[in-house]
Amino acid sequence: MTTTPAHRQQADHLIAAVNDALAAPTSYRDDTPLPRYGTAPPVPQPGRPPMSQKATDASALMLTGSVLTLATGGAASAVLWASGHADPTVIGLIAAAPLAIAAPIWALARLVKVSPKTTTEHHHHYTGPVRQQTVNSHSRWLGKTTNNL
């Protein structure tokens, strides 16, 4: 089969069309910032609020204090071990004393703790159809019971 100049011209035209189609970008990323939805300021959500600067500072102070306590205790343990006067019973009592004192206090605090109202009232406003489904599932022995109400 021989190629004529007309065939060659059609092939060149087809190749140019394919190259043009492949050269066009196939995706686009829009980096412009999105507008805020509405003009109302943010509303505080129910529940635990985020940590304040004072709470963050107190947390950093507690972490720093724990590191210093660990360093001091480690140094004291190293001195006792190096001197050969470390009595395992005394060291065990010293290490367990803070927990032995704190555990009953924590237990009493949990007993005395007044729990806040467990059910708080929440209002939800929807603009579309709402479907609520309650599912109770109980797994007993080898069988499974699901009651969809």
Is residue 75 assigned to a domain?
yes
Burial status of residue 86 (CB atoms within 10 A of its CB: 0-12, 13-18, 19 or more): middle
Is residue 87 assigned to a domain?
yes
- By mean pLDDT, which of 32-46, 47-61, 70-84 is the weakest? 32-46
Is residue 76 assigned to a domain?
yes
Is residue 61 assigned to a domain?
yes
Is residue 143 assigned to a domain?
no
Residue-number span of the structural domain to which 95 is assigned? 57-102
Do you know the residue count of the chain? 149
The pLDDT-based confidence of 1 (bands split at 50, 70, 90) is low
pLDDT for 146 equals: 59
Alpha helices (H) in 49-136, listed in sequence order: 53-83, 88-112
Fill in the amino acid letter for 35: P
Is residue 64 assigned to a domain?
yes
pLDDT for 47 equals: 72
Is residue 67 assigned to a domain?
yes
The pLDDT-based confidence of 12 (bands split at 50, 70, 90) is very high
pLDDT digits (tens, 9 = 90+) for 101-125: 888 888 888 777 766 666 677 788 8
Q: Report the number of distinct structural domains present in the chain.
A: 1
Q: What is the pTM of this model?
A: 0.28
Backbone angles phi, psi at 136, to 5 degrees: -110, 120
Fill in the amino acid letter for 39: T
